[in-house]
Amino acid sequence: MQICAYMQKRENMNFLLSKDTKDCCITKNRKSKSMLPQDQVVKIYNRIAYFYDAWAYLTESKARKRALELADIHNGQRVLEVAVGTGLAFYEIVKLNSEGVNVGIDISAGMLKKASLRLAALSGDNFVLKHGDALNIGEPPESFDLLLNSYMFDLMSAEDMDRVLKQFRGVLKPGGKLVLVNMTKGRTLVSRTYDRLYRLSPRLMGGCRGVQLSSKLAAHGFRVVHREYWQQLLFPSEVILAYK
């Protein structure tokens, strides 16, 4: 049964000039700060870890799948996933990169526990799952070919986004690839429902609101080559491919 309609729209670099991408986190013409401090984010994700996969299946699975396609993992690479969550993408990364090195970090012990259970089905000698903070990644400089991150920037203040992008640049090798997925600003009235819910209660939305990261990435020296808009069960996502 088809339970949701989705729309894929591919765009070229012109999107950088479009109205959609003028700012990273505008909600109803006002800059919105992430209203949840990090300790609250940890608490929320520890709490919702048990049903997160159901939400992810209904609203995020298509964008996440597309991100993995764009990541185009070559077996043997060094891959870092920041905010690995319950390991939905990381499980696929580890399978695709069986001869490489795969590191997954997250600040929520609850999400990491779910990820460990999922990954237990795999051999375990080509991946590490550990507690870690995007604001201070703590991995060696210029050590990863690919960095994947999904649905984390939409939780963050603009200031923290800047700090995290500096960290991302730091750990990626020169020319390294960055694939991002974010909840983004909906293009239709109904797809903006989630942002309206966020304004009512950030907790209700797990702290997430629509963001647009392309301009910020470019400002941090990333070469953004591709952005796609996806919508699943009215939930709007952007998938971005960029290089250091």
Ligand X SMILES: C[S@@+](CC[C@H](N)C(=O)[O-])C[C@H]1O[C@@H](n2cnc3c(N)ncnc32)[C@H](O)[C@@H]1O
In the structure encoding, which two tokens stand for residue 63, read together? 């964008």
For ligand X, give the closer residue by CB, 21 or 108: 108
**Residue 119 structure tokens:** 């990954």
Residue 83: HSE in the Cβ half-sphere, 13 Å Cα cutoff: 21
56 binding ligand X? (CB under 6 A)? yes
Q: How many residues bind ligand X (CB under 6 A)?
A: 21
Q: Please choose, out of 16-24, 69-77, 81-89, 229-237, the segment that lies near ligand X by the rule CB under 6 A.
A: 81-89
6 vs 16 by CB, closer to ligand X: 6
Distance CA 79, CA 73 (A): 9
Q: Collapsing DSSP states into helix, strand and coil, what is residue 206? A: coil
Mention every residue, 6+ apart, whose C-beta is less than 8 A from residue 148: 67, 68, 71, 79, 80, 81, 82, 89, 93, 179, 180
User: Which of 73, 85, 161, 222 forms a contact with ligand X (CB under 6 A)?
Assistant: 85
Radius of gyration of the chain (CA): 17
Selected binder of ligand X within 135, 190, 204, 225 (CB under 6 A): 135
133 binds ligand X (CB under 6 A): yes
Among candidates 215, 240, 223, which has minimal Cα distance to 26?
215
**CA-CA distance, 82 to 102, in Å (whole number)?**
11
Answer yes or no whether residue 80 interacts with ligand X by CB under 6 A. Answer: no
- 47 backbone φψ class: left, alpha, beta (φ>0; ψ -120 to 50): alpha
Q: Supply the minimum distance, in Å, between the C-beta of residue 93 and ligand X.
A: 11
67 binds ligand X (CB under 6 A): no
The pattern of x and - marking residues 158 through 197 that bind ligand X according to CB under 6 A reads ----------------------------------------
Kindly state whether residue 240 participates in binding ligand X, applying the rule CB under 6 A.
no
From 150, 191, 214, 231, residue interacting with ligand X (rule: CB under 6 A): 150
Stretch that binds ligand X, among 22-30, 106-114, 120-128, 231-239 (CB under 6 A): 106-114
C-alpha pair distances (Å), 94 with each of 77, 98, 157, 192, 204: 11, 6, 30, 34, 32
The stretch near ligand X (CB under 6 A) out of 21-29, 145-153, 194-202, 232-240 is: 145-153
Q: Does 83 bind ligand X (CB under 6 A)?
A: yes
Does 41 bind ligand X (CB under 6 A)? Our answer is: yes
Distance of CA 144 to the CA centre of its chain: 17
> Under the rule (CB under 6 A), what is the footprint of ligand X?
41, 45, 56, 64, 82-83, 85, 88, 105-108, 111, 133-135, 150-152, 155, 206
